[in-house]
Structure 1
Amino acid sequence: MKEREIPHILIVDDQYENIVLLENMLLSEYNVKTLDNGKDALDYVHENLPDLVLLDVMMPDMDGFEVCKQLKENPKTKNIPVIFLTALSELEYKVEGFNAGGVDYVIKPFHKEEILHRLKIHLTLREQKQVLEASKRKFADANTQLELTKKELENVKAELQKQKGNSGKADSDKSEFITSMGNEILTTINTIIQQSNFISVEECSPDAAQNIASIRTAAEKLRKIVNDIIQNILL
């Protein structure tokens, strides 16, 4: 129900005495507008949305069923509850009224207590429905925002993975370069060690023999260091 102190009720009936009777029943509690034909009712409702319509069934030119159908076909007015007013008590007319979109049926002659009770029920239901619809919209908005946030996070994640991939490629290229260079160094070191092994220490002077031993020791240490570096890169 719209936010105002007094609910707005539209009464549509081609019988003046019925309008006066209903108006007197409702004026103490509701803001009442009365009209005597369906066409004027449709024109009025499109410009002034009531909270509920009390609609007579048997009217000339356009009966209440047709008025209700047109209200329900319009997105702007489809949620306005319509209570039919009629002397027709047969089941087939009630079914036709519900099929047209009515929420209730009041049989003439009217009784104030019944009218007020039915109005209160359907106005409360309308208000609860509006609260539910507002909650659904808020939920939909929150869900949309959540989806946008998830999408943003996915984009950030993809970008990080891309950067990581680029960084990983750079690291991989760097590792390959270091490994390649390390293997070349190892080849040189191994050559030095092998060459040193071919030298007969007995044929060298003590100083030369000591130098050869130092070279071999240093080469072996260097080989171990390079091997360790390559292994760490490959892990």
Structure 2
Amino acid sequence: MATITEKSTILVVDDNITNLNILLDYLNELSYKVLIAANGEQALQQLQHIHPDVILLDVMMPGIDGFETCLRLKANKETQDIPVIFMTALTDTVDKIRGFTVGGVDYITKPFQHEEVLARLKAHLTIRKLQQELQQKNDDLEQYADILAKKNTELATKNAELDEKNVQLNALNADKDLFFSIIAHDLRNPISALRELPQIIIENLESYSQDDLRRMISMQRDAAKNLFELLENLLTWSRIQRGMIEHEPQPINLKEIVDRNIALLAANAYSKKISVKNDITFPAIIYVDYKMMDTVLRNLLSNAIKFTGEDGNIEFTAIEQDQFIQVAIRDTGMGIGENYVPKLFRIDEQYRRTGTANERGTGLGLILCKEFVERNGGRIWVESEVGKGSTFRFTSPKFSKERAML
């Protein structure tokens, strides 16, 4: 391992050539690296480029003396920590005190005593080295503290995110548990009907009239239809939750897709003598996923028919709103109580009731509507009054070339 002497650089500042030579020869023999300057100005210039481990500084020099030179060294952030040992023939206590006041750490007197010079140099070089090591340790500690603080912050952020995810997961699991309990309950009724009605018919076949049989078979048909709708919506909802339904927006003529759904459910409306009108007159082109929009319109129209009595009316309208088109499906049906409206689109608080002809709902239709409308960048809501009907409204983005390029 290299010794302090072999590693140390000493700057000697003295205008006396004899003194310089004496110190230069002596310190070179001791393997110090020695730099020299003839006056204070020259020393300050050199210190702009080099940083010795210690400075031997003569007090009495032409130009700026040793005291002024030391003051300037200590005023510079780059050189203020370099220890300065004054070299002087002065023995006056006032001069020594002045040397310590301006920042000197020690002094040696002329003529030089080699042993004294070496002892003072080694002492201050050792102190300097220890100070540098301590400073490095402090710097390392501060850097480590910064890294630790950053890691703690990142960890706290990750923990907060994890806590939030756990809360969301627990809420989702609770919703799913409730949802599946509801589904299990809803499946029981149509399955029971499909299982029990045939047995009842078989056991009472001879005693049933044609009207009785027609009624029993109609009940079977309705149970099967309700079961099919429930399973279809359940599978669709399941695919949404697993991210298996791709969102592929395209320009769609709103009037045409509404007409298609009115035709599809015309028999349901006809059986209840309900008038269904499409009053969308302007060329409303929306930019949505076709299958999703088809599901939304079919569910909303099916609900409107289900909860509207005989001779009722259902009307589709649309208006333009900036970058969106707002669609409205208004019916003259049963209406919904104000306290039940917030439950319509929630999976954890489903609102159940039978239609005007005792039709049963699946409980999933409006939830699917909300999922699909929001997936396409819109929102859905309802306005309703008991006994006067309901108006379901939702927004869909207009088609534009700029939107299609996104």
Regarding TM over 0.5, the answer is: yes
SS of match in other structure, 1:5: helix
- Give 1:22's aligned residue: 23
Greater strand proportion: 2
CA distance in 1, matches of 2:171, 2:77: 58
Residue type of the alignment partner of 2:6: E
1:37 maps to 2:39: yes
CA distance in 1, matches of 2:174, 2:104: 73
Q: Which deviations, in whole Å up to 9, do the C-alpha atoms of 1:127-167 show, x marking residues without a partner?
A: 11111111111111211111111111101100011112222
SS of match in other structure, 1:11: strand
Q: Give the drift of 1:20.
A: 2.2
SS of match in other structure, 2:29: coil
1:42-81 aligned at under 5 Å gives the runs 42-81=44-83
SS of match in other structure, 2:48: helix
Q: Which deviations, in whole Å up to 9, do the C-alpha atoms of 1:8-55 show, x marking residues without a partner?
A: 211111222222222232220122222211000010121122221100
**Alpha carbons of structure 1 residues 141 and 6: separation in structure 2 relative to 1, 3 Å:** closer
Greater helix proportion: 1
SS of match in other structure, 1:59: coil
SS of match in other structure, 1:46: coil
Alpha-carbon RMSD = 2.6
SS of match in other structure, 2:20: helix
Q: Give the drift of 1:175.
A: 6.4
- Give 2:163's aligned residue: 161
- Give 1:100's aligned residue: 102
- Give 1:207's aligned residue: none
Normalised by the length of structure 2, the TM-score is 0.41
Q: Give the drift of 1:91.
A: 2.3
Q: Give the drift of 1:120.
A: 0.8
Retained in 1: the 8 A contact 2:100–2:106?
yes
Normalised by the length of structure 1, the TM-score is 0.69
Q: Give the drift of 1:75.
A: 2.1
- Give 2:138's aligned residue: 136
Q: Give the drift of 1:4.
A: 9.1
CA distance in 2, matches of 1:4, 1:174: 77
Among the aligned pairs, what percent are the same residue?
Answer: 40
Retained in 1: the 8 A contact 2:6–2:33?
no
Residue type of the alignment partner of 2:20: I
Retained in 1: the 8 A contact 2:59–2:66?
yes
CA distance in 2, matches of 1:171, 1:88: 89
- Give 2:118's aligned residue: 116
Q: Which deviations, in whole Å up to 9, do the C-alpha atoms of 1:45-97 show, x marking residues without a partner?
A: 21122221100111121011111122122222222111001122222222221
CA distance in 1, matches of 2:105, 2:85: 6
Q: Which deviations, in whole Å up to 9, do the C-alpha atoms of 1:162-194 show, x marking residues without a partner?
A: 112222333454567689x6xx99xxxxxxxxx
With CA pairs under 8 Å and 6+ residues apart, which has the higher RCO, 1 or 2? Answer: 1
CA distance in 2, matches of 1:4, 1:85: 20
In structure 2, which of residues 75, 89, 102 is the aligned counterpart of residue 87 of structure 1? 89
Residue type of the alignment partner of 2:65: D
SS of match in other structure, 2:47: helix
Gaps of 5+ in 1: 186-235
- Give 1:127's aligned residue: 129
SS of match in other structure, 1:58: coil
Residue type of the alignment partner of 2:12: I
Paired residue total = 183
CA distance in 2, matches of 1:96, 1:175: 86
SS of match in other structure, 1:89: coil
The worse-fitting range, judged by mean Cα deviation, of 163-172 and 140-149 is 163-172
Q: Which deviations, in whole Å up to 9, do the C-alpha atoms of 1:183-227 show, x marking residues without a partner?
A: x99xxxxxxxxxxxxxxxxxxxxxxxxxxxxxxxxxxxxxxxxxx
The worse-fitting range, judged by mean Cα deviation, of 115-124 and 170-179 is 170-179
